Amino acid sequence: MNPWSRRLGLARPAGYSNVTMAKAEPKADSTGKTRAQPFKSALPEVRLGVLAALVVLVLAGSRLADRWELPFRDLLLSWAPHRPPRLTAAVVVDEEALARFGRFPWPRERLAQVVEAIRAAGAR
């Protein structure tokens, strides 16, 4: 008997000293694969994900991505629709409003009053 088994209280009961323990073998399913194989089959995808994450981190920390950012952004904006929405409203803050309500930035309460006045005028 292993001395560690005795210390951990794993001693076999009396009368079972000649019984050997069978090792548990992983059971195969209908395709013949054992339970450990699905993890092995996912290993290439995990490696690819880790590699992609490392590439993104390296590009984010370097200036190489900065060179591509503006042309890529220009390309995305060129695909956007060019005409503005039909109903567009502009809020103009003139000298009179600044004299009446004070300099920018205005408090949120003041901006909420502006939005409420615009909605009351019929804006959606």
Same domain assignment for residues 60 and 95: no
Q: 51 with 85: CB under 8 angstroms?
A: no
By residue range, what is the domain housing residue 115? 88-124
pLDDT band at 8 (very low <50, low <70, confident <90, very high): low
Percent of the chain with pLDDT over 70: 68
**pTM for the structure as a whole:** 0.31
* Average pLDDT taken over every residue of the chain: 77
Q: How far is CA 43 from CA 38, 64, 85, in A?
A: 9, 30, 49
63-80: per-residue pLDDT in tens? 777 788 888 889 998 898
Are 47 and 74 in the same domain? yes
* Total tally of structural domains belonging to the chain: 2
Do 92 and 72 fall within a single domain?
no
Looking at the fold, whether 93 and 118 belong to one and the same domain comes out as yes
DSSP state of 11: P
